């Protein structure tokens, strides 16, 4: 009998984006290993405390914490973390981290810092959703991820040439409705 789908596929337990003080910027958990918010915050504190003195700015680092593999990288005042079970492949987790890190960098146009991240939190959360769903890895190409997120987030202030046909119709309908209500 074959293993269930969730056991056969590589999976991610959580993706964390913390600031330089260990505070949450964007986090998403895909596992019930941390049942309460307090347990999640405690895990984040442990991971942050044990990694803050390392120099993970040039390339990703790998560590074991509480029977979890954590792959992490820092840039400016942001700390990126991807956690998997102790039986996960570190290279796959590192690929997920790189996808997250690079797609966020692309979406923030290279200005990867806490202020930019908070101003574009919706893009970062969409980014996480494009990479992992329910713990299963969906996409690891940062250009594809950034493209999907950017196409979902084009606002009505963007030029029509940068909008999809559906978005353009929605924008036109919105402008038409506003003109009728005046």
- Model pLDDT for residues 78-130, shown as the tens digit of each residue: 999 999 998 998 999 999 999 999 998 888 887 788 888 888 888 899 899 99
CB 174 within 8 A of CB 132: no
Q: Given this model, what pLDDT does residue 34 score?
A: 92
Taking the model in full, what pTM does it have? 0.77
CB 26 within 8 A of CB 127: no
Q: Determine, yes or no, domain membership for 7.
A: no
* Owning domain of residue 70: 12-181
In terms of Cα–Cα distance, which of 66, 58, 113, 110 is closest to 86?
66
Q: Determine, yes or no, domain membership for 34.
A: yes
CATH of the domain at 132: 3.30.450.60
Q: Residue 165 — pLDDT band, cuts 50, 70, 90?
A: low
Q: Determine, yes or no, domain membership for 6.
A: no
Hey, how many other C-beta atoms are within 10 angstroms of the C-beta on 159? 8
Q: Residue 19: which residues within 8 A CB-CB, separation 6 or more?
A: 25, 77, 78, 79, 114
Count of structural domains, the chain = 1
b/e burial code for range 79-105 (CB count within 10 A of at least 16 → b) = bbbbbbbeebeeebbbbbbbbbbbbbe
């Amino acid at each position: 009998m074959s293993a269930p789908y969730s056991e056969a596929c590589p999976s991610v337990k959580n993706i964390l984006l913390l600031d330089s003080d260990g505070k949450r910027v964007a986090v998403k958990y895909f596992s019930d290993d941390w049942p309460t918010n307090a347990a999640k915050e405690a895990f984040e504190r442990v991971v942050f405390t044990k990694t803050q003195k390392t120099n993970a700015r040039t390339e990703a680092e790998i560590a074991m914490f509480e029977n979890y593999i954590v792959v992490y990288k820092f840039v400016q005042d942001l700390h990126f973390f991807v956690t998997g079970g102790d039986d996960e492949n570190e290279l796959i987790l590192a690929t997920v981290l790189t996808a997250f890190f690079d797609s966020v960098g692309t979406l923030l146009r290279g200005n990867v810092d806490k202020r930019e991240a908070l101003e574009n939190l919706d893009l970062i959360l969409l980014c996480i959703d494009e990479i992992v769903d329910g713990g299963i890895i969906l996409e690891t190409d940062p250009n594809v991820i950034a493209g999907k997120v950017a196409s979902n987030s084009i606002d009505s202030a963007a030029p029509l040439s940068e909008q999809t046909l559906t978005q353009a119709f929605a924008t036109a309908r919105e402008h038409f409705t506003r003109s009728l209500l005046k």
